[in-house]
Amino acid sequence: MNEKTSTSYWELESTLRDQFVHREVSREINSVLWIQIFAIVAINSCLTVADVILGIPELRSINLFIRGSTILAAVVIFPILRDKPLLHRNAIFMICQIFGIGFSYSVHQKHALNLPLNGYLSEYILIIQMMLIIGFCPFTQKKHLLSLAGIYLLVVLWAVSPVIATHALFVVLAGCSFYISVTIRVLYLNFLERLHGIDYDLRARMLPPILVRNTLDRPRGFLIDAVKMSSTGILCITSDWHHFKDAFKLHDEQTIAKLMSDYYDECVTLLHEKFDGGDCALDWMGDDVLIYIPYNTQDDQETETKTLAAVNFALDLVQIRKRHFAHLSVPSGIDVAISLGRANYGLSGTSNSRRMIAFGYPVSLARGLQHHIKICSELTNDNTDRIAMTNDIRNILSNGHDPTLQSLNLVSIKPDQFLKNMQVTEYFVHLPT
Amino acid sequence: MIQKLKNYIIPKTHQSGFRISDSKVGTSYIFAAQQHAWREASETARHCWIVFLLCGLIGSTTLYFLDLKVYGFDVFQIVFALIGILFLNTKNAIEILSRHNFSGWLVFALVAIFGQLSSINLSLYKSGEISLTAGTGLILFSIIGSIVNPGPGIYIKILAVFAVTGSLFVTRHSKFQVPFSLLVLTTVISGLIWKHIFLSIVNTSARSSLAMRITKAPANTAASQMDSNEDLDRFAISSRKTAIIIVKWSNFANVSHDLRPSDLDKLLKIYFAAVDKLLMVNIPSGAWFADVIQHEVHIYIFEEPTDEHPAVLAFKFAKDLLKEKNSSGQFSSMGHLDIGLAYGSTTSGILGPKAFKKTAAIGTLSQEAISSKALGGSIRQAFGGSDKIIFDFEVAKHLEDQSGILSLTHKDLNPQSTIPEKLVYVFDFDSMKESKS
């Protein structure tokens, strides 16, 4: 496994995470925009009714303002109702926003000059509300927001120029309101990004990559059934090293920890490549690794393909370990065991460690096989890497279509009592020739 | 639907840190997350409020020099005060109630509010536009409103402030009072909605952040580093005194084979929840991490000055787990539990692949706990009994005051054993029942 492949996997992960966060943040910021728009419509409706009931002609500037902002709300809602891609909607929104602001402000300004008191009032409301809208408009990119704000400030300055002294206060108000709305917007977006980033990371920790990815485009409800414990075909791969603890006697903890992290990173990358973009779950504790690969027991072709991939993965695992740990000068080998069968598979664990786990015959069998070959290795003080597999896997290998696996040197081994209890009469170990 | 999914995918244990929301320990960690959220929210509030304050000062000065009427400015001042009150409430109560420590900015803010509202009140009173009572009420409510506990109370107080503000306008030009009051009301409502949205997102973000950290590190480390952007660096790999507990079901293979998936799922949920609960109760500091490989639970208890010795805590937890298992009918299909304990120095910390980093103990100590646990079957075969806690001298020497602990040699278990001298200490659940009776 080369470094390039490893990097590209994590890059892909990072890209998917960014996409997920962007989509969720856009959705949330849009919902806030909706609240804002409805609030404006509600406020304006109340004011109109109040004007009519009270018969206050002086407040017609507010009515004009209402018209302006209602038009604004309508043009904003219209493109959102159309199911266009998000970026497209944003582009339309931006034009509408500028139009709405320009229109309502110019109409208002015309009347405000004649009506000082209500002019101040409606001007104030207009500025604050428009600033809030700009602050929470659905642009996740700051540059668009700042461009828009720049245009708006120019409009404000132009509009107030005839009576600049009177309106100095409102220019200050507009500036402060804008500053605050942008600040809150940036903070709000940061919190949203952090929240959805954590959401993605938690899912990525608990679920197989393929499930995480499916939820990016599919309804969230898809996950509920996918993570429920159910009976399914499981290919189980377990691995354990010889003399792992001796490495700590010769090397410092940081070195070993770094090597282990790199080793696991490469395992994850390789799993992703071998099994349909991550249709598998990995669990590890110390040097002990457990991998579960679900498959459809009714589909012989899938069973064969995944089994061949699992054996291939086991061979690569041996190579990865060698590459990362050979230079440590610690005599060690790795025992890998593979088995398959029906098991219960689903989300389980304590508060610290909830993840996809398989329970049942193939898992016990793989661990039993691994335990047995480890005992054999210890008795003979043999540090050869070994890959153990059951008879059904050997049969798939001999019928399989992967020529790289035909050269495996498989030796038949008599099982121990534990394995006999599991109705295993013999199993096979690949020994390097 | 979304909440249901969230509960399922990110269960309560991850959302709030722990499963048992009413546990004192659990709530203390939730409180840590909330504290963090308030700190973040108040940073924003402080920032916004100071900008408004500056705006007010500039506006006042401008109006003074231009000799303009103050109507527009009044509006601004009142809205300014209300927004200040709304935002200030995100922080003050915590400072006052928890820390008993007024920060400089808070004093400054209160003086500023008082000063500004007094000036409005005075000018309006002089012009005969409001009564002295209404003006004083406005000031008092504003100050009380700014220091009340955040929570439902604030909404009531804000409404009270609005009522006073409304009464203020009654004495002014009657033509404008209704639309004017409506505007103030909608501003307040808008502020409340904003406050709610903003605080919700800050709170959820803090809780999720804590939950994420708990999947990597012990809860006390996760909670103590909430304000730090660094990735739990305090728990980097190093040698630590640690007690290790390994819990194994003796007949899990049969259980997983015999039970229906839904029943197995239910049993495991109850079991893992019991493990979480007992850890929380026995180790209140949160200096533990529970990992699972298959049904086997590996628990690491780290030294913490406020806790008892890790070996003692490990034994207490193990005993309580056996009690819980045997007192509840829910675990009847579980078979025997063999619990291996070990204590000593071991390499531990956060490690693993990028997306799956977690706390792990790597070294010979885990092997000792595994070996102890593995003796359970042989001991049961030789001497009978039920669930067992098995450990070596390193643990036993801290448990001198515990009764019911037997010591065995490996030769007692297997006459052909090559390590006859090494003592194994066993606590059998049956002995606990006998001592009780």
Q: What is the mean pLDDT of chain B?
A: 67
CATH code for the structural domain at A224-430? 3.30.70.1230
pLDDT tens for each residue of B240-261: 999 999 998 888 878 887 888 8
The per-residue pLDDT for B129 is 47
Q: Do A42 and B202 touch (CB under 8 A)?
A: no
Highest mean pLDDT, choosing among A67-71, B102-106, B302-306:
B302-306
| Strand-pair category, B238-249 with B337-351 | antiparallel
Q: Which residues of B touch A169 (CB under 8 A)?
A: 59, 62-63, 68, 72-73, 76
| Chain B nearest CA to A354, separation (Å) | 8
Chain A: residue nearest B197 by CA? A32
Q: Which of A62, A255, A284, A351 to mutate to test the interface with B (most CBs of B within 10 A)?
A: A351
pLDDT tens for each residue of B374-422: 888 888 888 877 888 999 888 988 888 888 888 887 767 666 666 556 7
Structural domain boundaries of chain A?
Answer: 3-205, 224-430
The per-residue pLDDT for B2 is 42
The per-residue pLDDT for B143 is 43
The per-residue pLDDT for A146 is 56
Polymer length of chain A: 433
Given CA atoms A251, A254, A257, A259 in this order, what sign does their dihedral have?
negative
Among candidate residues B118, B54, B46, B55, the one with its CA nearest the CA of residue B84: B46
Higher pLDDT pick, B356 / A44: B356
The per-residue pLDDT for B23 is 42
Torsion of CA B428, B273, B349, B424, to 10 degrees: 0
Among candidate residues B197, B133, B140, B195, the one with its CA nearest the CA of residue B170: B133
Q: Do A264 and B353 touch (CB under 8 A)?
A: yes
Q: Is B73 exposed, middle or buried (0-12, 13-18, 19+ CB in 10 A)?
A: buried
Amino acid at B258: D
Phi then psi for A59, rounded to 5 degrees? -90, 15
Q: Do A283 and B362 touch (CB under 8 A)?
A: no
Among candidate residues B353, B288, B367, B271, the one with its CA nearest the CA of residue A283: B353
Q: Do B58 and A268 touch (CB under 8 A)?
A: no
**pLDDT band, residue B334 (cuts 50/70/90):** confident
Q: Number of CB pairs < 8 Å for A and B?
A: 265
Torsion of CA A416, A421, A427, A431, to 10 degrees: -40
Higher pLDDT pick, B143 / A254: A254
Q: Which residues of A touch B269 (CB under 8 A)?
A: 348
Q: Which of A288, A352, A364 to mutate to test the interface with B (most CBs of B within 10 A)?
A: A352
- Residue B112: CB partners within 8 Å, gap ≥ 6? B53
| Strand-pair category, B337-351 with B388-391 | parallel
Q: Do B353 and A364 touch (CB under 8 A)?
A: no
CB-CB contact of A424 with A392 (8 Å):
no
| Count of beta carbons in the 10 Å neighbourhood of residue A375 | 12
The CA–CA distances, whole Å, from B197 to A28, A36, B191, B192, B200 equal 11, 12, 10, 9, 5
- Which helix (H) or strand (E) segment holds residue A386: the answer is strand A386-390
Chain B, 17 to 36: residues with Cβ < 8 Å from chain A are 17-19
CB-CB contact of B179 with A56 (8 Å):
yes
The per-residue pLDDT for B29 is 57
Amino acid at B272: F
Give the separation between CA B331 and CA A254, rounded to whole angstroms.
41
| Chain A nearest CA to B153, separation (Å) | 24
| Six-digit token string for B312 | 């003692």
| Chain B nearest CA to A401, separation (Å) | 32
DSSP B275-287: HHHHHHHH-TT--
Q: Do B363 and A168 touch (CB under 8 A)?
A: no
Among candidate residues B154, B107, B114, the one with its CA nearest the CA of residue B136: B114
The per-residue pLDDT for A53 is 62
Whether chain A has a CB inside 8 Å of the CB on B56: the answer is: no
CB-CB contact of B288 with B301 (8 Å):
yes
| Chain A nearest CA to B310, separation (Å) | 19
| Chain A nearest CA to B41, separation (Å) | 9
CATH code for the structural domain at B231-436? 3.30.70.1230
Q: Which of A190, A228, A350 to mutate to test the interface with B (most CBs of B within 10 A)?
A: A350
Phi then psi for A338, rounded to 5 degrees? -130, 135
| Six-digit token string for B71 | 């109507």
- Which helix (H) or strand (E) segment holds residue B137: the answer is helix B132-147
**pLDDT band, residue B316 (cuts 50/70/90):** very high
Assembly ipTM: 0.74
**pLDDT band, residue B103 (cuts 50/70/90):** very low
The per-residue pLDDT for A55 is 59
Q: Do B72 and A121 touch (CB under 8 A)?
A: yes
Structural domain boundaries of chain B?
Answer: 16-214, 231-436
pLDDT tens for each residue of B49-75: 555 556 555 655 555 555 554 444 454
Q: Do B364 and A349 touch (CB under 8 A)?
A: no
**pLDDT band, residue B130 (cuts 50/70/90):** very low
DSSP A291-356: EEEEE-TT-HHHHHHHHHHHHHHHHHHHHHHHHHHGGG-----EEEEEEEEEEEEEEE--TT--EE
Kindly list the averaged pLDDT for each block of 10 residues, start to end, along chain A of length 433: 56 84 74 58 58 55 51 46 45 48 49 44 52 52 56 54 50 58 68 84 84 69 73 92 75 80 87 84 86 92 91 90 78 87 89 86 89 82 85 84 75 80 80 69
- Residue B84: CB partners within 8 Å, gap ≥ 6? B49, B52, B53, B109, B113, B146
Residue in B63, B198, B349 nearest the CB of A257: B349
Among candidate residues B15, B40, B193, B87, the one with its CA nearest the CA of residue A31: B193
